[in-house]
Structure 1
């Protein structure tokens, strides 16, 4: 459940857009959310208390001065930017085994109680497990729940975005029955299907990728998001070969690959 940083008042999230990542291959969604929070200078308004995530604690990942470096962060925190009606739930640790479904149920109950306008889920999927038709064109895809198709599907078509293709449920036997297949995407499929059944407006934006240096993937996914929501101005097209340079890299990314080799080894 959501716990506000201000004990005297609960923030009003009505009609806001909730942006969140899936813990998926390459942690691309989480890295993209980091870029949004850091660039927009979003303020922390509380945290999401749950026993479904591995417990963790660390220093402020968005520290800008020595004064705020020692501020602590935990596994699921909520940030807000009222001027853009944007709320962000950042998830920083993996799920405990068999806790996917309880988390999705708790999260969607919170979404309904807060009356969010829509939920945007940033995710990723294994590039090596793409179907033949997914090998062509951009590695970026989207999914729309039925509740949001009436309002956003036309815009997606104007942007020339590609919806995530379904694959045959029984390859080589019956090609008529199609199913969603998003390997490596964590809670993405479960959260999306639950949102569809509950009539929640959900948009999934994802990128096919592989494990490794996933910063370029995160930049591409954030550009993709910005092309639609226009969080920052003068955004380049997601099809551009040059990556956007207007995203502010969080200070915590300096240690994204560790602290290097100790000189004493040589």
Structure 2
């Protein structure tokens, strides 16, 4: 069920780009969405509840919205860029996953395009010299982005054709659900190692910006520099410091 902050509003994603993280190895996709939300100072417009989502409630995750709270599934919007980011704070309950995916597709199927972010275990990359990136795109997405995906100087990703992304969570199933609904959708993931994946998160955002700079617009200044804002929630990315009373 969708809860918007304003009861008078309805969720209209016409001409929007929607970014969805898969709960994957190292939480890299969720961290990438954290960077997007903080860097672009997206506004929280509501939340989603469903039996598939483990209930979570806590303090604000971002310094630009100090009074907001966080929950299991939140919606963040950038009106100017027509950008909607869906952020998850908890894993999904397996037996309800299929129904949740169907409802999520129904909720945002009117979007211009959907981009799913994920990750995969680094040891699954069989060729050491190969790119650490892979993607899967629907045919209508390939047609709409033929210039970017066909440019070897810009895109050095390998197209994924397998039936599994190990460590990628529900990314592939969600991709197929949007594809079946004829929504323009792309799945982008990076091969990585479990641990501190904040660097991988920033790399995911940079790669995404290379493809879709027209709506992310994260390049600042005349020198073409790339600026990201680290959210305050990352201060305790691995929990509290060890208390001195243990010693």
Partner of 2:238: 257
What SS does structure 2 have at the residue aligned with 1:138?
A: coil
Q: Over the residues paired in the alignment, what is the CA RMSD in angstroms?
A: 1.8
Q: Contact 1:142/1:161 (CA < 8 Å) preserved in 2?
A: no
Q: Contact 1:126/1:210 (CA < 8 Å) preserved in 2?
A: yes
Partner of 2:102: 105
Partner of 2:92: 95
Q: Which shows bigger deviation, 4-13 or 212-221?
A: 4-13
Compute the displacement of 1:100 (Å): 2.0
Q: Contact 2:172/2:187 (CA < 8 Å) preserved in 1?
A: no
> Normalising by the residue count of structure 2, what TM-score does the alignment of the two structures yield?
0.90
Q: In 2 relative to 1, CA 155–81 (structure 1 residues): closer, same or farther, beyond 3 Å?
A: same
Q: In 2 relative to 1, CA 110–11 (structure 1 residues): closer, same or farther, beyond 3 Å?
A: closer
Q: Contact 2:135/2:160 (CA < 8 Å) preserved in 1?
A: no
* 1:77-103 C-alpha deviation (Å, 9 max, x unpaired): 101111101011111100112222111
Partner of 1:185: 168
Q: Contact 2:62/2:231 (CA < 8 Å) preserved in 1?
A: yes
Q: Contact 2:16/2:83 (CA < 8 Å) preserved in 1?
A: yes
Partner of 2:160: 165
* 1:120 equivalent among 88, 94, 115: 115
Gaps of 5+ in 1: 167-178, 236-243
* 2:217 equivalent among 210, 217, 232: 232
Residue 79 in structure 1 maps to residue 76 in structure 2: yes
> Normalising by the residue count of structure 1, what TM-score does the alignment of the two structures yield?
0.84
**Moved segments of 4+, more than 4 Å:** none
Partner of 1:5: 5
Q: Distance in 1 between matches of 2:14 and 2:163?
A: 31
Partner of 1:206: 189
Q: Distance in 1 between matches of 2:87 and 2:51?
A: 16
* 1:46-72 C-alpha deviation (Å, 9 max, x unpaired): 1112111111111000035xxx64532
What SS does structure 2 have at the residue aligned with 1:221?
A: helix
